[in-house]
Amino acid sequence: MAVGSPLGRSTRVFMAYCVETGKLVLLKDDTWRVVSPSQSPEHMIYEELKKHRVRNICTCKEGSDVLDQVTRTQDTSMARHLSSPLRRLQHYRLVLNEIGRSLADFKNTKEMVTAVRRHYRYLYRSLNGIAADSLSTAHGDAYDKAEILHIYINSGNILITHIGGGLLIDWDLCKSFNIYIKDKPTLKGMSTPLGTWQFMAARLLVIPTHGELPPTPDRADDLESFFYVLVCIAV
């Protein structure tokens, strides 16, 4: 969601000067992370991805909560009567070492497609089931090595590097395969699916009937989101 959206988390990103290294860094400021036992802060997610040697992602310099800044809306009497419970949010800041261009600022079609295709390992499968694209990528590595699914693939989460490569960012709402796909504890009480609406897989947009849980996103849904990103940027 955009900063001005009443439905978003008011995330803003700036270039900042690091006095320790004398270099420019990317500051993810004024973001409000979800407080949940099943949702780790983003800097911890980057540590997990790094431990599993996931490629084509940013390196995290540091991240921390802003003390004593937690939402209270979810604790009001009005919130208790809502069909879907409001999430508790914590003010949070993150610093990344790499700075890239927005995918929408691509110089040519090849650069755009290259930046996107670096983030999934299997784009197609032939009729006999053999993978046609075996690139080592951020999304594929995260899923295969760290068992983490990004879920929130959109045009704002892919950056173009100075050499024309791509970086997949915004892992703050990703889900661990072990926790999310197998046990599904985070779906309890939810009436809406996870993802960015404009780029979500078609099957995830089906509104569940009363008492049913929304469909569980999987790898194929993220790949479909990558396709919609290409269409959105190209058109």
DSSP string for residues in 142-184: HHHHS-EE-----GGGEEE-TTS-EEE---TT-EEIIIIITT-
Going 215 to 217 to 222 to 223, the CA torsion angle's sign is negative
Q: Cα–chain-centroid distance for residue 112?
A: 19
Predicted pLDDT of residue 24: 95
CA dihedral defined by 83, 74, 150, 96, rounded to 10 degrees? Answer: 160
Predicted pLDDT of residue 132: 25
Distance, in Å, from the CA atom of 184 to the CA atom of 216, rounded to the nearest integer, reads 8
CA dihedral defined by 158, 161, 164, 166, rounded to 10 degrees? Answer: -30
Question: Do the Cβ atoms of 195 and 152 come closer than 8 Å?
Answer: yes
Question: Do the Cβ atoms of 146 and 48 come closer than 8 Å?
Answer: yes
68 burial level (CB within 10 Å; 0-12, 13-18, 19+): exposed
Six-digit token string for 150:
């990004």
Predicted pLDDT of residue 119: 59
Query: Which of 157, 73, 158, 68 shows the shortest CA–CA distance to 115?
Result: 158
Distance, in Å, from the CA atom of 13 to the CA atom of 23, rounded to the nearest integer, reads 16
Q: pLDDT in tens for each of the 235 residues of the chain?
A: 444 556 566 678 889 999 989 999 999 887 889 888 878 999 999 999 999 999 889 999 999 999 999 988 888 867 677 766 778 899 999 999 999 888 888 888 888 887 877 655 444 443 233 222 323 478 888 988 999 999 888 888 888 888 888 899 999 989 887 665 555 544 444 445 677 888 999 998 887 776 677 778 888 898 899 889 888 888 8
Question: Do the Cβ atoms of 191 and 168 come closer than 8 Å?
Answer: no
pTM: 0.82
Q: What does the chain come to in residues?
A: 235
Predicted pLDDT of residue 137: 79
Element of type H or E holding 140: helix 138-145
Distance, in Å, from the CA atom of 105 to the CA atom of 233, rounded to the nearest integer, reads 9
- Sorted by sequence, the CB contacts under 8 Å of residue 179 that are 6+ apart come out as 38, 185, 186
